[in-house]
Amino acid sequence: MSNDATPFGSVAAAADHPTNEHRGYTYSFRAECDYDTQQFLRAIDLSGFTITGLVIDPIDGLPDVQMQITTDASLEQLRDILRSITDSHVMLQTLRQAPLAGNSLKRDYELE
């Protein structure tokens, strides 16, 4: 789990202070690759939301990653952001308001 490569001020600040109390809502999801998560984080930042917690966990043997974020954005706001990103369907379909431990990461194919 590495937060070193994140180019976002709000994410980097949260990574520098892992003992701070994370405020906001916790979400988790799966992505096809780390590049997809970086696009999502950039879009969250550009939308004016703050990320106060971040966990990136590679999935062994796959380019896929699973991620947990804490942010002030609502679930529907995050879904709208994902809908604006090309090829973000896996993140959209696995995004749930739950920590990684509570998310099956199964895709909801009805979400578009």
pLDDT of the chain along its 112 residues, tens only? 444 344 444 444 444 434 345 579 999 999 999 999 999 999 999 999 999 999 999 888 889 999 999 999 999 999 999 999 999 999 999 999 999 999 999 999 998 8
Predicted local distance difference test score (pLDDT) of residue 25 = 96
This prediction has a pTM of: 0.79
Predicted local distance difference test score (pLDDT) of residue 1 = 40
Predicted local distance difference test score (pLDDT) of residue 21 = 53
Nearest partner of 53 among 86, 100, 87, judged by Cα = 100
- Please state, as a whole number, how many other Cβ atoms lie within 10 Å of the Cβ of residue 7: 10
